[in-house]
A = this chain, B = another copy of it.
Amino acid sequence: MTAASRYRSQERKRRIFLFVRDRILSGAPPTTREVQAHFGFRAVQSARDYLEALVRDGLLDKEPGKARGYRLPAGSTPYPAVLVPLLGRVQAGALTTASEDPDGYVPVQSAKPRDELFALRVRGESMRDAAILPGDVVIVHRQESAASGEIVVALVEDEATVKRLKLRAGRIELHPANPAFDPIVPDADRVRILGKVIEVRRYLEGSAPVLEP
């Protein structure tokens, strides 16, 4: 095999990967035969050979036996942006059910699994000096605890709020970043940490989160 043809082959492999990725991102993975048809192979197996090679390279994952079984790898390639639900208002404990009825979806790149992430629209000026303004969208990683100093989403009195967490003498304190507001020092049983803010976004114009019907 000549170097030229080997190069040509690598190029085709790349093309096939891009095709599959595109199809996955636009709705559903392609079947082996769809790949075959799109690239003009005269045998299904030829397409399959490439797909299996891509799996071996780690560019694709697959679920053997299943129809349309090729997937984008979750951890190794953070490349595909996952869509996480944007929640308008989080109330008492209803995080899981709220995720099923979001205001929209926001594309996020993260190593975290999709179902551990959600997005929340910020209300109020209490974090102004941390450069988080009302209307901003925060991306949150669900976790029950966080380190002192991190910005978290906490549920206090049936209402979700974004604050900086301080742990003092084993007690949870929620500190605003605005001198006009006072720290919240709730009883331990009246506060629950929903997650840690890992990203802040502000949509100024022309790029807004997708609203769901």
Contact = CB atoms under 8 A, between A and B. Distances in A.
Interface of A: 15, 18, 22, 24-29, 31, 59, 67-68, 71-72, 76-83, 100-101, 105-112, 114, 128, 131-133, 136, 139, 141, 150-151, 196-213
A109 B210 contact: yes
A132 B211 CA distance: 26
Count identical subunits in the complex. 2
A207 B139 contact: yes
A210 B73 CA distance: 14
Interface SS of A by simple majority: loop
Given A83-B81, A200-B204, A206-B198, A213 B59 contact: yes
Sorted from nearest, which 7 A-B pairs have the closest CB atoms? A81-B107, A67-B67, A131-B131, A110-B207, A107-B107, A200-B202, A18-B100
A211 to B, nearest CB: 8
